[in-house]
């Protein structure tokens, strides 16, 4: 629930800035999200202001007061600064619009606060506090809409989204972050104008998507994206999960299942622990884990449906989409690895977990083991309580086995007991593909039998060499890469 505005919660630095600009003969107002958050009982350390001062005039006012200043947004009228532990952005009153053929905003500076507020994205962000008087300016009913938990635009939705099509993504993001409903006329405009999102840079879209997925209710945000067609532009693999069924072929609703898995993954996050929420890689992997199913769906004569290798196909599709959205390589690697491994547990569930299987599971998960634990547990959405309980107990047993073996071995860094250099010395060969083959043989031996000691490992290597030694000089061919030899 929203509450009355508590002006006592306004940070001192806000009032200081207001007095500085007032003394210099300029207007200054706290605006947008920070004002909205005051009604929600939250205080942000990132503060947005709007002013009638030009960027040059702003720089003159804050000179000597700001601890640091940056001008990266100067061409858009924005001057950034740091004062203590607070980040401030001060922007000249402006109009902002998109050229239909351009991804860059066209900026014109304004002279009135009212004109600035009407050009903002939503009414809940179109409120301002004049400084230093703390007079609330709310010409578009932002307080009313905040109490109603409703997202509306100050002007028409069409003009707002024409100004900046990314605002359509922002609507879905705020629905997730603030658990708000989107007004019907706004949803209608989003549906009609979804294709306009194509002109927005991938980086800006990516940033909004991350905020949406990390919100309090990401399911709501994703559903809005899918229902309005925004997801067809941003994340087409997700609406593609709405697979058609017929009377002869029944299977789980993959789209709804994926949304539920994401919700359950959110519920498993903790403020402290190995996976601290909100955790984007876990949540996004949960949403994308089955995107390989549409391409791998096969029907058998008895009506059964299979999705063989959908984990591998899904990882490839996820990697391609994340690259298109300009995610960094580390995040792409993390999410795609989770998608690729999300079925690994089910390959062992019935047969039981041998020590060898446990070692391979830990080795393959690497530093994503904790996230994989949560993703796998989240991927149980059956309403059959007996089946769900059996799967939970099986995974409990797997985690117990991992802990037991970890006490005996360094599972997270399982390596052969001989490295590439030692292999070459024992076999009397130089760098070659054969060294990589020998290394892989010893790695499999290590996974199957655990630690057997260097002497035993050397003896087994010589046995392998006797059976696999080339008849010619092929062992002296081109050197392998480091991953083949463990060097």
More confident residue, 471 or 214: 214
pLDDT in tens, 328-365: 999 999 999 999 999 988 866 555 678 888 888 888 89
**Same domain, yes or no: 40 and 53:** yes
Residue 254 confidence (pLDDT): 93
Euclidean distance between CA atoms 196 and 106, whole angstroms: 16
Contacts of 56 (CB under 8 A, 6+ apart): none
pLDDT-derived band at 154 (thresholds 50, 70, 90) equals very high
**Same domain, yes or no: 164 and 253:** no
Q: The CATH number of the domain where 179 resides is what?
A: 1.10.110.30
pLDDT in tens, 283-300: 999 999 999 999 999 888
Residue 171 lies in a domain: yes
Residues counted in the chain: 487
**Same domain, yes or no: 342 and 442:** no
**Same domain, yes or no: 359 and 447:** no
pLDDT in tens, 419-442: 888 998 888 888 888 888 888 888
**Same domain, yes or no: 408 and 444:** no
Residue 476 confidence (pLDDT): 44
Residue 150 lies in a domain: no
Euclidean distance between CA atoms 61 and 83, whole angstroms: 14
Residue 148 lies in a domain: no
pLDDT in tens, 399-416: 888 887 777 666 555 678
**Same domain, yes or no: 223 and 346:** no
Asked whether residue 457 carries a pLDDT value surpassing 80, the answer given is yes
**Same domain, yes or no: 403 and 254:** yes
Residue 153 lies in a domain: no
**Same domain, yes or no: 284 and 312:** yes
Residue 366 lies in a domain: yes
pLDDT-derived band at 484 (thresholds 50, 70, 90) equals very low
Give me the domain span that covers residue 318. Answer: 240-412
* C-alpha pair distances (Å), 87 with each of 69, 307, 446: 10, 49, 53
Residue 306 confidence (pLDDT): 84
Q: Which pairing describes strands 181-182 and 298-299: parallel, antiparallel, or unpaired? A: unpaired
Note whether 398 and 353 are within 8 A (CB).
yes
More confident residue, 97 or 115: 115
pLDDT in tens, 191-226: 999 999 999 999 999 999 999 999 999 999 999 999
For residue 56, how many C-alpha atoms fall within 13 Å in the half-sphere facing its CB? 0
Q: Could you tell me which of 41, 32, 78 has the C-alpha nearest to residue 58? A: 78
**Same domain, yes or no: 203 and 345:** no
State the burial class of residue 398 (Cβ atoms within 10 Å of its Cβ: 0-12, 13-18, 19+).
buried
Note whether 300 and 350 are within 8 A (CB).
no
Q: Is the dihedral of CA 302, 304, 305, 311 positive or negative?
A: negative
Asked whether residue 100 carries a pLDDT value surpassing 80, the answer given is no
| C-alpha Rg value of the chain to the nearest Å | 29
Residue 132 confidence (pLDDT): 95
Residue 1 lies in a domain: no
**Same domain, yes or no: 273 and 332:** yes
Q: Is the dihedral of CA 111, 117, 119, 121 positive or negative?
A: positive
Q: Which pairing describes strands 86-92 and 46-51: parallel, antiparallel, or unpaired? A: parallel
Q: Provide the number of structural domains found in the chain.
A: 4
Q: The CATH number of the domain where 15 resides is what?
A: 3.30.460.10
Residue 99 confidence (pLDDT): 63
Residue 201 lies in a domain: yes
State the burial class of residue 56 (Cβ atoms within 10 Å of its Cβ: 0-12, 13-18, 19+).
exposed
**Same domain, yes or no: 388 and 427:** no
**Same domain, yes or no: 251 and 374:** yes
Q: Among 82, 109, 143, which residue terminates a domain?
A: 143
pLDDT-derived band at 35 (thresholds 50, 70, 90) equals very high
DSSP type of residue 96: E
Residue 136 φ/ψ, nearest 5 degrees: -80, 130
Asked whether residue 273 carries a pLDDT value surpassing 80, the answer given is no
Residue 154 lies in a domain: no
Residue 110 confidence (pLDDT): 79
Q: Among 143, 172, 187, which residue terminates a domain?
A: 143
Euclidean distance between CA atoms 123 and 66, whole angstroms: 31
Q: Among 412, 435, 465, which residue terminates a domain?
A: 412
């Amino acid at each position: 629930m929203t509450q009355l505005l508590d002006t006592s919660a306004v940070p001192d630095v806000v009032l200081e800035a207001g007095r500085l600009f007032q003394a210099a003969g300029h207007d200054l107002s706290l605006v947008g999200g920070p004002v909205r958050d005051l009604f929600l009982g939250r205080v942000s350390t990132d503060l947005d202001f709007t002013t009638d001062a030009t960027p040059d005039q702003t720089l003159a006012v804050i000179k000597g007061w700001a601890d640091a200043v940056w001008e990266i947004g100067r061409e858009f009228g924005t001057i950034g600064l740091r004062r203590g532990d607070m980040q401030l952005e001060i922007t000249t009153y402006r109009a902002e619009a998109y050229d239909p053929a351009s991804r860059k905003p066209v900026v014109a500076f304004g002279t009135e606060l009212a004109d600035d507020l009407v050009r903002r994205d939503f009414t809940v962000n179109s409120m301002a506090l004049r400084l230093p008087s703390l007079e609330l300016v709310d010409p578009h009913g932002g307080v009313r809409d905040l109490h109603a938990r409703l997202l509306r635009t100050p002007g028409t939705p069409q003009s707002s989204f024409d100004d900046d099509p990314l605002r359509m993504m922002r609507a879905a993001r705020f629905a997730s972050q603030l658990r708000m409903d989107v007004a019907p006329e706004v949803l209608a405009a989003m549906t009609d104008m979804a294709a306009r999102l194509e002109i927005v840079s991938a980086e800006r879209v990516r940033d909004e998507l991350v905020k949406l997925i990390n919100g309090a209710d990401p399911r709501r945000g994703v559903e809005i994206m899918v229902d309005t067609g925004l997801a067809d532009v941003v994340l087409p693999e997700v609406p593609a999960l709405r697979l058609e069924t017929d009377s002869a072929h029944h299977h789980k609703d993959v789209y709804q299942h994926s949304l539920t898995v994401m919700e359950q993954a959110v519920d498993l996050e903790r403020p402290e622990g190995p996976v601290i929420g909100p955790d984007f890689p876990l949540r996004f992997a949960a949403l994308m884990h089955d995107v390989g199913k549409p391409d791998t769906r096969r029907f058998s004569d008895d009506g059964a449906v299979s999705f063989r290798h959908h984990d591998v196909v899904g990882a490839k599709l996820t990697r391609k989409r994340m690259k298109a959205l300009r995610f960094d390589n580390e995040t792409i690697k993390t999410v795609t690895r989770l998608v690729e491994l999300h079925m690994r547990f089910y390959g062992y569930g019935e047969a039981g977990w041998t020590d060898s299987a446990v070692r391979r599971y830990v080795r393959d998960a690497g530093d994503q083991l904790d996230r994989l634990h949560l993703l796998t547990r989240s991927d149980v959405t059956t309403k059959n309580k007996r089946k769900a309980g059996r799967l939970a107990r099986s995974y409990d047993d797997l985690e117990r086995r991992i802990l037991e073996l970890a006490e005996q071995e360094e599972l997270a860094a399982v390596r052969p007991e001989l490295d590439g250099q030692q292999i070459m010395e024992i076999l009397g060969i130089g760098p070659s593909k054969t060294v990589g083959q020998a290394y892989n043989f010893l790695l499999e031996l290590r996974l199957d039998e655990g630690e057997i000691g260097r002497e035993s490992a050397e003896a087994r290597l010589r046995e392998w060499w006797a059976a696999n030694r080339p008849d010619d000089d092929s062992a002296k061919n081109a050197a392998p890469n480091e991953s083949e030899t463990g060097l």
